[in-house]
A and B are shown apart, each in its own frame.
Chain A
Amino acid sequence: MTSREQILTSIRTALGRTEGQAATPLPPPMLRVPLMDPKALVETFVQNFEKLAGKSIVVGAASDVVPALVQIVQGKRVVASNAPYLETCGVRAMPGIQTGFTDPSAWREACVSADVGITRVDYALAQTGTFVMLASAQEARLASLLPLIHVAVIPRSRIVANLDTLFGILPAPAEQTSSMVFITGPSRTADIEQILVRGVHGPGEVYAVIVEQD
């Protein structure tokens, strides 16, 4: 008998079940979806994101994103993901920005040496100040992970109330991506004397640029 069979057999023996025995029904998922208007979603997101020491900038239109970024990226090495929305905003055409990678090792090298990574987010959760990012060909993992500063561009329509709303919209994330991550504020630790330190492995500074008319 393989280890697999042995483990499954001892589980069945302990539980008094037989192979293939049908399960008793499971109650439906508990999703608490609050109703929030778009204005409240933005306000709530900003409030919670700033509580986590995130810095938020609300701009009117896609064309206002680049001017808002100028100060953050000035004099720094910057990578941007291949997200089409960043193209729309003009971010990928900013001078000095490295983007449009198709070679994995070049991409990795660029992220290793970058100070700032710019991405879009797939969703944002207002009640927790969270970015939701699904890895894809357009949105790779390392841009929001290796550089010390992460800038997320968030179309307002992508802000939802909370986790429950998200799982209502995305009941099966694995069908879309091999990696979905929720990012709630800057990387932090309190492992030494419970003293809060930011930026221990991931970004220590996070920015949210929210676009009202996306």
Chain B
Amino acid sequence: MAGAPTESFQKTLDDPRLQLAIYSATGRLVNHRAGSIRGDLLPEYQDLRTRAHEIKRHTIEHLDQYLEQFERNVVAHGGKVVFCRDAQEVADFVLGLAKERQAHLIVKSKSMTTEEIDFNERLEHHKLEAVETDLGEYILQLAHQRPYHIVAPALHMTRYDVADVFTKKLGVEKEVEPENQAKIARSVLREKFLRADIGVTGANFLVADSGAVVVVENEGNARLTSSAPRIHIAIAGIEKMIPRAQDLAVYLSLLGRSATGQPLSVYTSFLSGPKRQGDMDGPEEFYVILLDNGRTKLLVDPEKRESLFCIRCGACLNHCPVYRKIGGHNYPWIYSGPIGAIITPQFHGVTKHPWLPFASSLCGACAEVCPVKIDIPKVLLKLRAEVTEAKAREGQSGMERFAFRAFAWMMTHPKIYLPFASIGKKFLPVLPRIGPLAKWTSQRELPKAASQSFHNWWASNRGEGKQA
């Protein structure tokens, strides 16, 4: 795994508190999931997975059509759809709208897609404040950290860490009880919700036949984000599409159980357009930003495009023996664990973090628990092959390129090679015992070199005469 941040891995492995936090949090999520999909409680669990996979495959394979249908339906309900190719286009749109509407404060609910495009930082540069409102994300925003886990973003922090962050950033008295810490966040953020002009949410699903955005959460912050401010903007990757509202019966049955073991998460909001005539609350304006940001690249290969089926439940992280040791921050991007290991190389190119697809034991636990049956190990193998091919194309390093060139030159010049070969034979038993290979060869027996080289044998037995 050349190029892997092994020092950073080691630091995580040597931190007993962090190891315990990762192990117990993921372990708890593993148990909760297992308890919620038991055969007596959900006998059709495997059928649901199969169906979830089929619907996603169908949708992704006809994505252009469903995006257009979705757009028509959002517009029909009075909303607007904005297609964005990258982070810059998202920022430009939001900044433009904020300026036009004289908006100064944005409240945000948890969204991996906005993490992906450094949304908050981009707005901050233009003096537009965007406040995270999910408790874990809020803590991380105050601490200037990125999420450690897709569903449990502050998994690596203790209540004492949180107390320090709150004291330092909010100027409150030291408070170490999670219940009271949540109260502090509630009161600070409640004021923000009521003052905000724009609410930005992600989307767990986009429903083509309804023009609806579906947001799943437990705290109520996403519901507040989409209900209290006068403008609601949902930012979603184009792959979040499903064809019909009725398909939610399948996906919602799987998402909460796979993520946290809840048959349904506390709040599922199905949002289709701005408030309607007579409604006393709800947003006056409704926008859906459909983001590409590299996703269309993932569509080309029929096997690798499965990576886009992901519904971000985090189950593959919780079950992964690698994630459970190295945690979330050792992955190069915001998507960690097995899903991160297949998504990141496809977004950033396989040569950027060539070690990543190799950071897996291929035990297959991820594929077994994936609610949409993404064959993660298979995609990892494909990516490994691509890394190897890319390396072969580029040459791994200058040193290696030099070595291979020298070897090729030597082999095509037998007059030089042959005398060296007969000298080399004498040194062969000694050479590996010194130098960089010494440690490795000290424990191993070397085969003895033949008394006569093949070249000599050929020349004396089959050749047309002596050559050297």
Chain A residues within CB distance 8 Å of chain B: 2-4, 6-8, 10-12, 14-15, 17, 19, 21, 23-24, 26-27, 29-32, 101-102, 104, 107-108, 112, 125, 127-128, 130, 135-137, 140-142, 145, 163-164, 167-168, 170-174, 177-195, 197, 199-203
Stretch at the interface among B65-73, B116-124, B397-405: B65-73
- If A104-B280, A194-B28 touch, whether A188 touches B300 (CB-CB below 8 Å) is no
A31 to B255, CA, bound (A): 16
Determine if B223 and A163 form an interchain contact, defined as CB atoms under 8 angstroms apart.
Answer: no
Determine if B227 and A141 form an interchain contact, defined as CB atoms under 8 angstroms apart.
Answer: yes
- If A107-B281, A181-B268, A188-B266 touch, whether A11 touches B247 (CB-CB below 8 Å) is no
- If A3-B89, A199-B186, A202-B219 touch, whether A179 touches B262 (CB-CB below 8 Å) is no
Name the residue of chain A whose CB is nearest to the CB of B256: A184
Determine if A172 and B210 form an interchain contact, defined as CB atoms under 8 angstroms apart.
Answer: yes
**Chain B nearest CB: distance from A180 CB in Å?**
4
- If A7-B238, A107-B280, A173-B210 touch, whether A29 touches B227 (CB-CB below 8 Å) is no
Across-interface contacts of A164 in B (CB, < 8 A) = 249
Chain B 233-257: CB-based contact to A (< 8 A → 1; otherwise 0): 0000010000111111110110000
Chain B 18-62: CB-based contact to A (< 8 A → 1; otherwise 0): 000100110010000000000000001001100100110010011
List the 5 closest A-B pairs by CB distance, nearest first.
A202-B220, A137-B278, A191-B136, A174-B272, A29-B246
Across-interface contacts of B189 in A (CB, < 8 A) = 201
A14 to B300, CA, bound (A): 5
Across-interface contacts of A170 in B (CB, < 8 A) = 245
Determine if B61 and A15 form an interchain contact, defined as CB atoms under 8 angstroms apart.
Answer: yes
Determine if A178 and B279 form an interchain contact, defined as CB atoms under 8 angstroms apart.
Answer: yes
Name the residue of chain B whose CB is nearest to the CB of A10: B296
| Interchain pairs with CB closer than 8 A, number | 255
- If A137-B279, A181-B267, A194-B25 touch, whether A11 touches B299 (CB-CB below 8 Å) is yes
Name the residue of chain B whose CB is nearest to the CB of A203: B220
Determine if A101 and B280 form an interchain contact, defined as CB atoms under 8 angstroms apart.
Answer: yes
Is B379 in the interface zone, CB < 8 Å from A? Answer: no
Determine if A174 and B212 form an interchain contact, defined as CB atoms under 8 angstroms apart.
Answer: yes
Stretch at the interface among B149-157, B359-367, B409-417, B420-428: B149-157
Is B224 in the interface zone, CB < 8 Å from A? Answer: yes
Name the residue of chain A whose CB is nearest to the CB of B48: A30
Is B105 in the interface zone, CB < 8 Å from A? Answer: no
Main secondary structure of the interface of A (DSSP, over half): loop
Chain B residues within CB distance 8 Å of chain A: 21, 24-25, 28, 44, 47-48, 51, 54-55, 58, 61-65, 67-68, 73, 77, 83-85, 89, 133-136, 139, 152-155, 157-159, 162, 178-179, 181-182, 185-186, 189-190, 194, 207, 209-212, 218-221, 223-224, 226-228, 238, 243-250, 252-253, 260, 262-282, 286, 290, 292, 296-297, 299-300
A/B interface sample: 26 pairs, CB < 8 A = A4-B83, A7-B296, A10-B292, A12-B64, A23-B65, A24-B58, A26-B243, A108-B281, A137-B278, A137-B280, A163-B249, A167-B249, A178-B272, A179-B271, A184-B263, A187-B218, A187-B219, A188-B219, A189-B136, A192-B139, A192-B159, A194-B24, A201-B186, A201-B219, A201-B224, A202-B224
CB < 8 Å neighbour of B263 from A17, A104, A128:
A128
- If A7-B85, A30-B249, A187-B266 touch, whether A15 touches B219 (CB-CB below 8 Å) is no
Name the residue of chain B whose CB is nearest to the CB of A185: B266
Determine if B84 and A17 form an interchain contact, defined as CB atoms under 8 angstroms apart.
Answer: no
Across-interface contacts of A178 in B (CB, < 8 A) = 77, 271-276, 279, 282, 286
Determine if B62 and A189 form an interchain contact, defined as CB atoms under 8 angstroms apart.
Answer: no
**Chain A nearest CB: distance from B233 CB in Å?**
15
- If A15-B299, A145-B227 touch, whether A202 touches B249 (CB-CB below 8 Å) is no
Determine if A182 and B268 form an interchain contact, defined as CB atoms under 8 angstroms apart.
Answer: yes
Across-interface contacts of B62 in A (CB, < 8 A) = 15, 17, 23-24
Determine if A182 and B267 form an interchain contact, defined as CB atoms under 8 angstroms apart.
Answer: yes
Determine if A14 and B299 form an interchain contact, defined as CB atoms under 8 angstroms apart.
Answer: yes
